[in-house]
Amino acid sequence: MSGKDFVVKSSFGHVRDLDKGNNGIDIQNNFKPNYVVTPDKARVVKDLKDTMKKSEEVWLATDEDREGEAISWHLCEVLGLDPRTTKRIVFREITKSAIQSAVASPRNLDLDLVNAQQARRVLDRLVGFELSEVLWRKIKASLSAGRVQSVAVRLVVDREREITKFEVETFFKVKASFPVEMGNEKKTLLIAESDKRFAVESDAQAFLEKCIGTTYKVHNITVKPGSRKPAPPFTTSTLQQEASRKMGFGVKRTMIAAQRLYEAGLITYMRTDSTNLSETALTEIAQNIEQTFGAKYVETRRYKTKNDSAQEAHEAIRPSYIENKSIHNQDKDQEKLYELIWKRTIASQMANAILEKTDIDIAIAAHPGQFLRASGEVVKFDGFLRVYFESVDDEEDDTLDTLLPPVTVGQPLKLNEMTATQRFTKPAARYTEASLVKKMEELGIGRPSTYAPTISKIMEENRGYVVKESRDGVKRNYKLLTLKADKITGDVMSENTGASKNQLFPTDMGMLVTDFLNEHFDKVMDYHFTAEIEKEFDIIADGNLEWTKMISSFYNPFHQTVEETKENAARASGERVLGIDPASGRSILVRLSRYGKPIVQIGKTEELGEDEKPQYANLKPGQSLETIELEEAFALFALPMDLGEYEGLAVSVNIGRFGPYVKFGDAFVSLPKGEDAYSVDLDRAIEVIEAKRKSEAAVGMFEGKGITKGTGRFGPFIKWNDLYINVPRRYNLETISQAEMEELIEMKVNKEANRYIRQWESEKISIENGRWGPFIKFGKTMLKLGKNKDGQNFTDDQLANISLEEVMAIIETQEPGAFAKKAKAPAKKAPIKKAPAKKAPIKK
């Protein structure tokens, strides 16, 4: 059998998923899943069925993990194949040899792996669906929760609170420098530190005072040989961590690039928790190292993953062809990631680096028994460091080749300068995407295929549980005592502290939801319990546990808790009373608004008169319901702030539902993203007003109507007669001419004229010309026209005369109940019309 005997087709991932809502799982029928072909895969399935009819046999070649096995099983179900006899091949790299080997030894589907995947999917749907419903009732509509995602949010919340509660301790650290002759009349400084810390300034001062006029000498020199081992080849987790440290990639960005590299046959499968390398790969890597660096650099290692649940049959992530040191495919992310994978793979099979560490102890005559120590580390043989050096979280990379000046035991030293610097203890660092993955892996929460989607989900804007931000630090003073020329001076210095770059912060909503779930669903939120669930999936995959029994043992008590919480739990708003407003005598409190925004409020409902409403103000970015103090809350009521007048009209600044803005007369002008409304003065407000005017000023006329230009979400545009017209790259928006604008307008008008074949505006239904032919547009949804009664494509005449009833019938086949839903729409809109009234308290 040769390659020409095969036709290769792709399912592009899963073709089926659980039906939506309550139809997805038949809980009463032993949790039977109800799978449906997803709408976007209908054409794919039809194409696969058509190809199958022309084929003698179907082989399945999806990925080797549980998701891949499940995809194969779903294809069997959709295509009518017998999963017990259909040939299944697996390979971890898209190379000729790997595929030929797989074709030579096909197997059958592993239904235990399929059941493990089904168990995860069903359990996650049940937990997510029911927990989310509780959150909708008790906190805010549109929130979501999940078995793994909620625990991941809890990790971020717990770390933030650990940082908030951390009590900083101060101490003084002593450092000294000594000039040493290097020959040729050159000198260098020998830097040494005391291993003793001084808790208070007076102790540090006393230490320096005793050093006035004292002598120093080299007490001891210790030279110790040492070595460093290379890190193992990449797993999914370690690849995500190192790509973040070295290149600043988020986990999603890393996995997208890795997926493309795998699909191009450049690396092995990128979802793995194994550090194992095949014997063939080990041989090829050793040969490459010997040819490139020499035999002394080769040290073959067979790594075994420490994680008990790791699947050792898988390989670590490595280049498919080790001889390709780099790639050139015009995608910079892929090129960088490939180079990182190549270096890590090669380094893992190279010899240890041989080091020599030197410690010099300096005796202080005035302090017998206390020493200053200078340390240096020199690389004697670079080994794997020739290729790769692993980065570390929360620490600076170790400095190698730190040479110390030549000194001898007993050699007297002359003090250049000694300092006692005030330092401060630090809390644990906030999580980055990569360090959160590392923590999840350590706790056994999730698996390689779930890290990236979980972190992406908790950071989605509509959930608003976690944000990735870089925040400025704050100025902090510290004391510096300096002994020089037998005189001690004291200075107050300043430094920036607490700055963060691309770190994860929980939002107030994330904290509130975490607290609510901790209170009512402590078992689901428990780290250990979540890890135990993952182990049960592994037991199912091994064929030692029936998946429906595992679901049943979890779901029944969980569902009972859900019902009790819906019935008995109070609504949660995160309300916290800060104090009393001296002017009104009413409570000042913070809470989440009905829209999920953190606000400060003056006056509880019971403290107000019948027609009175509380005063509201929005919290600033970076402020939190948990940590804001009374004085900070008072300051927020400075808005709305009158700035003065411009051109005879009042100018003010405020923050509304959609962000900060300047009000000029009756006009509202949004401030640029990230600008602080509290810092806006009249001059800045005028700048914003004039910038808005400039952007809206006509730059030309066409048929008696003005043309304006601007830049929006989708790039530069011109606007004419309520038409927004994209400006292609071949035009320069800054220098666009009248003739060019007229050309673009005429093209747009002609396109719009030919856009509609039929249109029923009141029903929001139209038949339009599209890139691939006519289609139906229903509201914002685009639907297929399908075939006419004769099973043929509609002709132009048929479309020109088609009735509204016929079009509605076509829509109904693709969107069942579409018009029943539409009839109910006005009732849903009513609350939205009341929204402007909600703004009034903020503006008072």
Which of 686, 580, 537, 735 is closest to 123 using CA atoms?
A: 537
Residue whose entry in the numeric block shows the structure tokens 């409020």? 601
d(CA 725, CA 719): 6
Pairing verdict, β 641-646 and 615-618: unpaired
d(CA 290, CA 284): 10
User: How many residues are given for the chain?
Assistant: 844
DSSP string, 401-462: --------TT-EE---EEEEEEEE--PPPPP-HHHHHHHHHHHT-S-TTTHHHHHHHHT-TT
Long-range contacts of 635-641 (CB under 8 A, 24+ apart): 635/678, 636/600, 637/600, 637/602, 638/678, 639/677, 639/678, 640/842, 640/843, 641/678
Catalytic option among 216, 269, 297, 465? 269
Largest Cα–Cα distance of the chain, in whole Å?
Answer: 108
Long-range contacts of 183-188 (CB under 8 A, 24+ apart): 188/405
Which of 313, 424, 403, 323 is closest to 358 using CA atoms?
A: 403
Q: Do residues 589 and 575 make contact, with C-beta atoms less than 8 angstroms apart?
A: yes
DSSP summary character for residue 365: T
Q: Do residues 237 and 444 make contact, with C-beta atoms less than 8 angstroms apart?
A: no
Can you give the C-alpha Rg of the chain in angstroms?
34
C-alpha 489: how far from chain center = 48
Using DSSP's 3-state secondary structure scheme, residue 392 falls into: coil
Tokens, residue 170: 């101060």
Cα(first)–Cα(last) distance of the chain, in Å?
Answer: 81
> Is the bond preceding residue 640 a cis peptide, omega within 30 degrees?
yes
DSSP string, 39-52: GGGHHHHHHHHHHH
Asked whether the CA dihedral 713, 717, 718, 720 is positive or negative, the reply is: negative
Which of 122, 11, 159, 28 is closest to 73 using CA atoms?
A: 11
Beta bridge partners of 355: 226, 379
What is the amino acid identity at position 20?
K
Which of 772, 768, 771, 773 is closest to 758 using CA atoms?
A: 768
Q: How many CB atoms lie within 10 A of CB 606?
A: 6
Q: Do residues 153 and 510 make contact, with C-beta atoms less than 8 angstroms apart?
A: yes
Long-range contacts of 29-36 (CB under 8 A, 24+ apart): 30/548, 30/552, 31/122, 31/548, 31/551, 31/552, 31/555, 33/118, 33/121, 33/122, 35/74, 35/77
- Catalytic residue status for 338: no
Pairing verdict, β 667-670 and 700-702: unpaired
d(CA 837, CA 840): 6
d(CA 354, CA 225): 7
Q: How many helices (H) and strands (E) does the chain have?
A: 23, 33
- Residues assigned a catalytic role: 269
